[in-house]
Amino acid sequence: MNSRYFTEEHELFRKSFQEFLQKEVVPHIEKWEKTGTIERFIWKKFGEMGYFGLKYPEQYGGLGLDIFYTVIFLEELQKINSGGFAAAMWAHSYLAMTHVNAEGDEEIKKNYLTPSVEGDKIGCLCISEPFGGSDVAGMKTTAVKKGDKYVINGSKTFITNGVYSDYLVVAAKTNPKAHNKGMSIFIMDRETPGISATKLDKLGWRASDTAEIAFDNVEIPAKNLMGEEGKGFPYIMQHFAFERLIMGINGHARAEFALDYTLNYMSERVAFGKTIDKFQALRHSIADMASEVEMCKEFNYSVADRLGKGEYVVKEASMSKLLSTKIADNVIYQCLQFLGGYGYMEDYPLARMSRDSRLGPIGGGTSEILREVIAKMVIDKKEYKPAAK
Ligand SMILES: Cc1cc2nc3c(=O)[nH]c(=O)nc-3n(C[C@H](O)[C@H](O)[C@H](O)COP(=O)(O)OP(=O)(O)OC[C@H]3O[C@@H](n4cnc5c(N)ncnc54)[C@H](O)[C@@H]3O)c2cc1C
């Protein structure tokens, strides 16, 4: 236990969440990995247990807990070896719901946040588009105001929970000429006429449904605008800090899981008359990896602490994602190597881990984009400010 950040209550929560995952989730993972469909009952169970409401206000059914409960939620989800299941859960509770909580008005929160906390409605966040994901401001989807409605046209891609979710949080241009100042955020029900989704086949994260989504003259009430018109870009950028830290925390947690599993394997596997954890070449590599993971973890905890206290940690969160996802990829690659041929077999966890981990340096801001952000802050002394309320 890292007592600087985690209390006894945190650790009790960790233990009970671990038990819940082992009992209610792990028995179904292989099936969901094969079908790419997470059955509805587990969403409801997460809701009943309060797991979707950890950080959300009590008035909407949440528990209003500090950020380290979220850290535990993310870490333990990484340790059941289904990046796809974990992604489905955190994309709902921390991508879609973050916008609903931050920008939704009372009516939106009543209609979407409370049912999201309870596990009755699942959300997705639609930002990336087929012709550009990194260049968020360059998006082409439009929302044109007509009387008391907005009409949405365009498409999104690579959307986590994009097929089976009940509602969509969508970024669209309300004033295409104003570039990043002309973007707004909307919420809409899946059943709204004109929305269609196509499921994508992918390398990893196989339990989660990832979709390309088309919007063909989709009419939504004007009151489904979230926050102020034209403020979509700063809203997105502001929440990116949290999303990037989430992906950093996921990185250190899955690397730690890979290391623990591999150390145990190495303590049992015999070659040349001794267990392979006695070979100096492998021991030194383990020492390097354990050091890197520990450093990431400590850094991520400290950034989480600052974010939880309200600091705008955009530089640190970008650094967290950049390095933690890279280290996770390296650790998992190396751990697979230490399992020899077994590492390559689906019966052992490293095969799936190496596929799932590969998304880390791509999703939610690629490593190249993160380097751009960090370079602007470190070299050009650029300061990013949170969106004004
Ligand atoms: C499984 C999965 C789930 C996802 N879930 C979601 C989701 O729920 N919601 C959502 O909105 N998006 C989601 N995404 C999209 C993801 O965020 C984007 O894929 C990512 O931001 C990169 O965008 P792109 O794929 O369009 O790549 P591009 O922007 O086309 O980039 C291609 C390459 O060019 C590089 N590049 C681009 N610009 C620069 C530059 N200025 N300098 C240097 N290099 C550059 C990139 O780093 C990359 O290597 C998901 C993606 C995947 C694969």
CATH assignment of the domain containing 366: 1.20.140.10
| 63/130 same-domain check | no
**Residue 151 lies inside a defined structural domain of this protein:** yes
| 96/187 same-domain check | no
Q: What pLDDT, on a 0 to 100 scale, did the predictor assign at position 43?
A: 98
Residue that finishes a domain, picked among 65, 99, 122: 122
Residue that finishes a domain, picked among 69, 103, 122: 122
**Residue 95 lies inside a defined structural domain of this protein:** yes
| 170/244 same-domain check | no
Domain that holds residue 79: 8-122
Ligand 1 binding site (Cβ under 6 Å of any ligand atom): 91, 124-128, 132-134, 158-160, 202, 205, 210, 359, 362-366, 368-369, 372
Domain with residue 103: its CATH number is 1.10.540.10
Probe target for ligand 1 pocket from 169, 201, 362, with the most ligand atoms within 8 Å of CB:
362
The reported pTM is 0.97
Q: E-strand spans in the chain?
A: 123-126, 142-146, 149-160, 167-173, 183-189, 195-199, 210-221, 225-226, 270-271, 274-275
**Residue 384 lies inside a defined structural domain of this protein:** no
Residues 215 and 153: beta-carbon distance below 8 Å: yes
| Active-site annotation, residues | 243
Report the phi/psi class of residue 239: left, alpha or beta, with left for phi > 0 and alpha for psi in -120 to 50: alpha
Of all protein residues, whose CA lies closest to atom 23 belonging to ligand 1? 133
Of all protein residues, whose CA lies closest to atom 27 belonging to ligand 1? 133
**Residue 208 lies inside a defined structural domain of this protein:** yes
Quick one: DSSP state of residue 132? B
Collapsing DSSP to helix, strand or coil, 272 comes out as coil
**Residue 389 lies inside a defined structural domain of this protein:** no
**Residue 2 lies inside a defined structural domain of this protein:** no
| 140/238 same-domain check | no
| 222/302 same-domain check | no
Splitting the chain (389 residues) into consecutive groups of 10 residues, what average pLDDT does each group show?
89 98 98 97 98 98 98 98 98 98 98 98 98 93 98 98 98 95 97 98 98 98 98 94 97 98 98 98 98 98 97 96 98 98 98 98 97 97 81
| 189/223 same-domain check | yes
| 250/214 same-domain check | no
